[in-house]
Structure 1
């Protein structure tokens, strides 16, 4: 008879990113990259982590002022990248122990936390 824990291992449950152990950062970084690549849109999430988030496009208003586009105004591809940027930050923060999280939780950009 298979236990629940064994079933989860067999099924390949991976709903939580690997947790950072401070003395094993290089190992964690590799495991985290593999974890991210295995997610839906993983390559876009990893790109956000390594290269920074989408630079939101701007629009020129009728009065000549320039403003950043609202999320609703983004193209489908831009919305997907913006969502992946948010997922990247969320995944990295979930993989940090509480004492490290407390140091970096003010960052909203995954690349800043990663570095």
Structure 2
């Protein structure tokens, strides 16, 4: 009988991260790396895994107010 994780691997679901099946960890790890590399914000995803979540820096504007930096400004 095929488990749900094996079925998802066979089906090749690419719109969400692959499910982890403990007995298939090495295969899952390689699929997860490919999944992250093929996402739009792959650099941010990999950086957040290696260094923790991104803390958006604040910008002080000329009028004294502060706001979060935009993704483009990073």
**Alignment TM-score, normalising by the size of structure 2:** 0.55
User: Tell me, which stretches of 5 or more residues in structure 1 are unaligned?
Assistant: 1-8, 60-68, 81-115
Q: Which has the higher contact order (CA 8 A, sep 6+)?
A: 1
Distance 1:20 1:78 in 2: 33
Larger helix proportion, structure 1 or 2? 1
CA RMSD of aligned residues (A): 3.1
Tell me the TM-score normalized by structure 1. Answer: 0.39
**Structure 2: unaligned runs, 5 residues or longer:** 1-10, 60-65
Q: Kindly indicate whether residue 27 of structure 2 is the aligned counterpart of residue 27 of structure 1.
A: yes
| 1:41/1:58 CA distance change after superposition, 3 Å | closer
| Aligned length in residues | 58
2: CA distance, partners of 1:57 / 1:75: 6
The CA deviation at 1:38 is: 0.3
